[in-house]
Amino acid sequence: MISEKKTAIHSVKVLIVDDESDILDLLEYNFEQEGYNVLRAMNGEEALQVAAQERPDLIVLDIMMPKMDGVSACLALKSMPGLEDVCVVFLTARSEEYSEVAGFEAGADDYIFKPIKPRVLKSRIKAILRRHQQRAIVQDSNLIRIHDLEIVRDEYVVRKEKDTIPLPRKEFELFSFLASRPGKVYSREDLLVRIWENVHVTDRTVDVHVRKLREKIGARYILTVKGVGYKFLPQGSL
């Protein structure tokens, strides 16, 4: 059964998807405490229907569900017009690395493991939504500005605290691409397709370019996600 609480009026819509009603109740209570507009679904197929109608800003998606598992649902969601950039957080009791890798490769922004810790859950969701909002606020067709960094696409330069850092074309394209989607994890294979179009290069090519970018711009902006790939951190890693 699909339901929506009418008491929480907020610009941020959160769709929670789990086949256990007690988990849904716990998530709904905590998200409504933050003022989010909460939507519910109990399996992947139902989640697709709700998402198509309501266009949520963020989806918390259980992995092990009947009818359609979370990974399959995430892939389907990301292919729907208007939902390509929706934030997806997987909720799971599974801790195997291959399961986490599959989730990130499907397009997830983060993983939260059961049993749920409400304070940690709310903090992680807030951080993801902040990163998502930063993507749209500070970039246009030619300029990306994030904190102390300015990326000017038509000049192929990066400026850091007003110092210009010229970069070779592929280094710039890689950095510009990652910076345009802060917090989003990309596998080496995905970056090869998007930046090099898979033309006579290997995974090692990505690693070398990331190493050079870290030397020139600073190591804290591009984080290695073990077993998956890389992501850009707008405030640098701590």
Q: Provide the 10 A C-beta neighbour count for residue 152.
A: 16
Q: How far is CA 89 from CA 17, 171, 187, in A?
A: 10, 30, 17
Domain edges within the chain: 13-134, 138-232
Tens digits of per-residue pLDDT, 219-236? 989 999 988 899 998 765
What are phi and psi for residue 215, nearest 5 degrees? -65, -35
Tens digits of per-residue pLDDT, 108-160? 888 888 888 888 888 888 888 877 665 544 445 578 887 778 888 888 889 98
> In the CATH scheme, what is the code of domain 13-134?
3.40.50.2300
Partners of residue 90 on adjacent β-strands: 61, 111
> In the CATH scheme, what is the code of domain 138-232?
1.10.10.10
pTM of the model: 0.58
| The dihedral formed by the CA atoms of 57, 63, 67 and 72, expressed in degrees to the nearest 10 | 70
Residues 16 and 36: their CA atoms lie apart, in Å, by: 11
Q: How far is CA 22 from CA 50, 181, 188, 237, in A?
A: 20, 34, 38, 35
